[in-house]
């Protein structure tokens, strides 16, 4: 977990526009039960204006973790 996290964080530093890197990091967090970190990483994408909220949600939905999609959608609606 730690090594994968560090690699993806470094990848974000190098290329902050690649949404797939954020999604991969979020996947690592969600599979390790770190929902708060997951939401923070996904929110960074919106905060950095890399992608619109709908584009981000579409990318999450087509990935292999539908539960995260629902949690993040609820999180955004609560903001």
Which pLDDT band, with edges at 50, 70 and 90, does 16 fall under?
A: low
Q: How is residue 41 written in tokens?
A: 């990483």
CA distance 33 to 48: 25
30-35 long-range contacts, CB within 8 A, separation 24+: 30/65, 30/67, 30/68, 31/65, 32/1, 35/71
Mean pLDDT for 9-30 is: 79
pTM of the entire structure?
Answer: 0.53
Burial of 19 (0-12, 13-18, 19+ CB in 10 A): middle
């Amino acid at each position: 977990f730690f090594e994968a996290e560090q690699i993806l964080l470094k990848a974000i530093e190098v290329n902050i526009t690649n949404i797939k890197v954020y999604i991969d990091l979020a996947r690592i967090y969600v599979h390790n039960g770190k929902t708060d970190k997951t939401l923070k990483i996904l929110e960074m994408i919106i905060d950095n204006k890399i992608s619109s909220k709908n584009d981000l949600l579409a990318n999450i939905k087509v990935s292999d973790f539908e539960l995260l999609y629902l949690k993040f959608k609820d999180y955004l609606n609560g903001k």
